Structure 1
Amino acid sequence: MALCTVALAVLVMTLVTLMGAAKAYAAEAPVGLGVAGTYSALGGSAVTNTGPSVLDGNVGVFEGTSITGFPPGIIGGVKHSADAHAESAQAATTIAYNDAKGRAPTATYTADPAELGGQTLVAGVYKADVSAGLTGTLTLDGQDDLNSVFIFQVGSTLTTATDSSVKLINGAQACNVFWQIGSSATLGVRTDFVGTVLALASITANTDAVIDGRLLARNGAVTLDSNVFQSQFVRKPRLARRPS
């Protein structure tokens, strides 16, 4: 009987511990973007566009000054070239980058590159020690929690393959997905991407990539090619691809 009592006590303590961990896990706070959250594309050295890209937020650069390709690209917000607003946005991007980088990982990938395609992940902080790749579909499962947060920490580069995608299910929100990239990010042709990219160096979105989020580069350029952005609102129906 005593053994049963001890076993029951251990079981109860284990369940309480697991429930507490699950609660803390679910309570991961989103990365604060500040004024950078008003931008679809923000570069450190330049923002360059080719083709009829559509961006619903601001476009800016600091400390660089060059923003080219608008038109034919369309900016739904305001263009900020080396002004105080862009400077503030870069400062906010640096804070957000350091915040995302400093989160304690719930899972770590040691392979180089860490392949994210074909996986279904729940809310958490996922760290790739070196580089990360995405071929196929990465599914992010919010588990019916609209506040679920997904943070990806990539030590070096992020590269997505042609026709790859990030899929949100069960309440996962694009505004709660963050990618902290230690070097540069490249989104492949027709990639359907979700989340805010915070890159130390540069970001390239190849032809017809769709971004449900933001591309924020601290030091390098943001390079676009016939892309569609949706970056400003939570729970807004995603835009259809631009007709070819």
Structure 2
Amino acid sequence: MMTIAINDMETAYTDAACRTGPGSTFVGVGAGDISGLTLTRGIYKWSTDVKFNTDLTLTSSATGVWIMQIAGTFTAGPGAKVILADGAQAENIFWAIADALAFDDGSHGEGIFLAKTMISFNAGSSLYGAAFAQTAVTMISTDIEAVMVSLLI
């Protein structure tokens, strides 16, 4: 069962990381620092590490889909939160991260996180969604509320 789960995660990661159109594709938004931005639905690609240290807002209708393709690490700074607006749904947000994912103290994420290496959740961090890593997950006093996952494959 473990092998099947890992293979499914790797397949989902590859699918999300390689997605293109048909909607808008945004490359390098915020030059890797997406603190304070509001992002509408679409595919976002970064060839760098990505971080946010203040709130990040994702806004669209309930049918809007985001695919975040990050070639490096992804870090949510202390107290930083992903906020959903105008009906956006966590189950429609896919984060394909080629390296590590880190939720710092008190940070909050929304969506399905697919990390090629590891995920760490520091004290007081939280997630509404799901988090899958190919190597390791570390959780310190973390609150995770799962959503139904309908992967892209």
* Partners of 1:183 and 1:200 within 8 A in 2: yes
State the partner residue of 1:139.
57
State the partner residue of 1:5.
none
What is the deviation of 1:111?
Answer: 6.7
RMSD: 1.6
What is the deviation of 1:166?
Answer: 0.3
Within a 5 Å distance, the mapping from 1:145-164 to structure 2 comes to 145-164=61-80
Question: Structure 1: how far apart are the matches of 2:14 and 2:148?
Answer: 23
1:122 and 2:40 equivalent? Answer: yes
Question: Structure 1: how far apart are the matches of 2:92 and 2:12?
Answer: 13
In the alignment, structure 2 segments of 5+ residues that lack a partner are none
CA displacement, residues 87-126 of structure 1 (integer Å, 9 cap, x when unaligned):
22211111110111111271011776x0111111111011
Q: Return the index of the structure with the highest Cα Rg.
A: 1
State the partner residue of 1:108.
27
Question: Structure 2: how far apart are the matches of 1:197 and 1:228?
Answer: 15
TM-score by length of structure 1 reads 0.57
1:227 and 2:137 equivalent? Answer: no
* Partners of 1:141 and 1:168 within 8 A in 2: yes
Deviates more, 1:162-171 or 1:98-107: 98-107
CA displacement, residues 60-112 of structure 1 (integer Å, 9 cap, x when unaligned):
xxxxxxxxxxxxxxxxxxxxxxxx1x322211111110111111271011776
TM-score by length of structure 2 reads 0.90
Question: Structure 2: how far apart are the matches of 1:149 and 1:90?
Answer: 24
Q: Residue type matched to 2:123 in 1?
A: T
Structure 1 ranges of 4+ moved more than 6 A: none
What is the deviation of 1:146?
Answer: 1.2
What is the deviation of 1:232?
Answer: 2.8
Give 1 or 2: higher strand fraction: 2
What is the deviation of 1:204?
Answer: 0.4
Secondary structure of the residue aligned to 1:152 is: strand
Q: Residue type matched to 2:43 in 1?
A: V
Question: Structure 2: how far apart are the matches of 1:157 and 1:222?
Answer: 14
* Partners of 1:127 and 1:154 within 8 A in 2: yes
* Partners of 2:29 and 2:44 within 8 A in 1: no
Give 1 or 2: higher helix fraction: 1
| Percent identity for Structure 1 against Structure 2 | 29
What is the deviation of 1:233?
Answer: 4.1
Within a 5 Å distance, the mapping from 1:199-210 to structure 2 comes to 199-210=115-126
State the partner residue of 2:101.
185
CA displacement, residues 37-68 of structure 1 (integer Å, 9 cap, x when unaligned):
xxxxxxxxxxxxxxxxxxxxxxxxxxxxxxxx
